[in-house]
Amino acid sequence: MAQILDPIPPNQPNRIVCCYVNATSKIQIARSSNVGDWYFERVVFPGQRLVFEAPADAVLEIHTGMMASAILSDKIPCDRLALDEESSSAFSQQADQQTLESANEGYNSSKQPNLTAALS
């Protein structure tokens, strides 16, 4: 999985694919800064699923947004968020399928006749 903005350092041999879901009604910040030469931070909206690659020893900090600040809500070891090989493969296939479906929707909608106009 490519992470262009913050790639994992090449000296990190144990990389895992992780998944975190924001099950709250608030915006959260997911951050990991305990691994040398690597910093990861993403905004996670309510109900959003965040899939990312991380070193096995990384810890994900979850900061929950309040009015004028963010509070550290949780610290989760990334190995607890790890997807197994089947899950990460299925997620990749699902994303590929969704990409194809959205591409097909754009193609089909431009090629279909306007039935309302035909019936008038």
Answering whether pTM is above 0.75, one says no
Contact of 27 with 63, CB cutoff 8 Å: no
pLDDT of residue 119: 46
pLDDT of residue 82: 93
Confidence band of 70 (pLDDT split at 50, 70, 90): confident
User: In the predicted model, is pLDDT for residue 27 greater than 90?
Assistant: yes
Give the residue-averaged pLDDT of 1-17: 71
Residue owning tokens 């909608």: 109
Which carries the bigger pLDDT value, residue 17 or residue 118? 17
Residue 47, phi-psi category: left (phi > 0), alpha (psi -120 to 50), beta (remainder): left
pLDDT of residue 97: 54
Contact of 55 with 35, CB cutoff 8 Å: yes
Separation of alpha carbons 33 and 28, rounded Å: 16
Q: 104 CB contacts (<8 Å, ≥6 apart)?
A: none
**pLDDT, tens digit (0-9, with 9 covering 90-100), for 85-119:** 655 555 555 555 555 455 455 444 444 444 444 44
Element (H, E) at 117: helix 115-119
- Residue extents of the structural domains in the chain: 15-83
The 8-class DSSP code of residue 7 comes to P
